[in-house]
């Protein structure tokens, strides 16, 4: 899995007034959970753009005033009007403890149903998985060559090495749906 480095500074004062003052300086208050102690920190807003505004998922090497830890982004809060980041939470990860994270789905191949006039839809852009940090891939590759018109790939049909899928087994990941043109062609073929 890809890694991204972020530098931050500890926050001594926590609360609404302190957070508001940080945001005026274009800093984002944050919290790091999962370790021996909870760490409150502040990070520059512009550093977060490479982490947030991308479809990729990263393991974050978070440097809090010289102390480096590996973490994943757990939660993020945006301003309802301006979409600025208000707060960010990270969860510290360890080599020997499994992590629950959402990983993007990448479709591979060209479905037979699309060749026949169908339309391919990606129903779930990310799947929730559980695994050790060393086993987490950048993307989950799903082969769709075999899909005919009206067929789909469900979570229960997928398996990945050293990963446990946590989504419902009957939820659809990708499907080839009939288009109006394909239905019309099928009607004409019957007549």
pLDDT digits 0-9 by tens, 56-91: 888 889 888 888 899 998 899 998 998 888 899 999
For 187, residues 6+ apart whose C-beta sits below 8 A from its C-beta are none
> What pLDDT does residue 144 have?
92
Q: Please check whether residue 134 is in contact with residue 100, taking contact to mean a CB–CB distance below 8 angstroms.
A: no
Task: Report pLDDT for 156.
Answer: 92
| Number of DSSP helices (H) and strands (E) in the chain, helices first | 4, 13
Question: pLDDT category, 139, cuts 50, 70, 90?
Answer: very high
In this chain, the answer to whether the domains covering 3-92 and 99-190 adopt an identical fold is no
The yes-or-no verdict on residue 191 having pLDDT over 80 is: no
Quick one: pLDDT at residue 143? Answer: 93
Contact present, 53 and 66 (Cβ < 8 Å):
no
**Alpha carbon distance 111, 125 (integer Å):** 18
Tokens found for residue 107: 């479709």
In CATH, what number does 3-92 get? Answer: 2.40.240.10
- Domain ranges in the chain are 3-92, 99-190
**pLDDT score, position 97:** 92
CB contact at 8 A, 147 and 111: yes
Is 99-190 CATH 3.20.20.70? no
* Residue closest to 70 by CA, chosen among 52, 85, 58: 58
CA dist 91 and 84 (Å) reads 21
Residue for token pair 């060749």: 115
pLDDT score of 115 = 86
Higher pLDDT, 69 or 183: 69
Mean pLDDT, range 11-31, rounded to an integer: 87
């Amino acid at each position: 899995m890809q890694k991204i480095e972020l530098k931050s500074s500890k926050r001594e004062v926590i609360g609404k007034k302190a957070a508001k003052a940080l945001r005026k300086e274009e800093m984002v208050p944050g919290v790091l959970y999962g370790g021996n102690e909870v760490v409150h920190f502040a990070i520059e807003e512009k550093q977060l753009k490479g982490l947030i505004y991308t479809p990729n998922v990263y393991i974050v090497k978070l440097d809090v005033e010289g102390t480096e830890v590996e973490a994943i982004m757990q939660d993020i809060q945006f301003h309802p009007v301006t979409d600025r980041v208000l707060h960010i939470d990270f969860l510290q990860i360890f080599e020997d403890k499994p992590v629950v994270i959402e990983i993007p789905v990448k479709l591979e191949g060209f479905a037979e149903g699309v060749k026949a006039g169908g339309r391919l839809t990606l129903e779930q852009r990310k799947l929730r998985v559980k695994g050790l940090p060393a086993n987490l891939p950048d993307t989950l590759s799903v082969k769709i060559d075999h899909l005919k018109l009206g067929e789909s790939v469900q979570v229960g049909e997928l398996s990945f090495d050293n990963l446990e899928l946590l989504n419902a087994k009957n939820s659809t990941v990708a499907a080839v749906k009939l288009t109006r043109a394909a239905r019309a062609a099928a009607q004409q073929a019957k007549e």
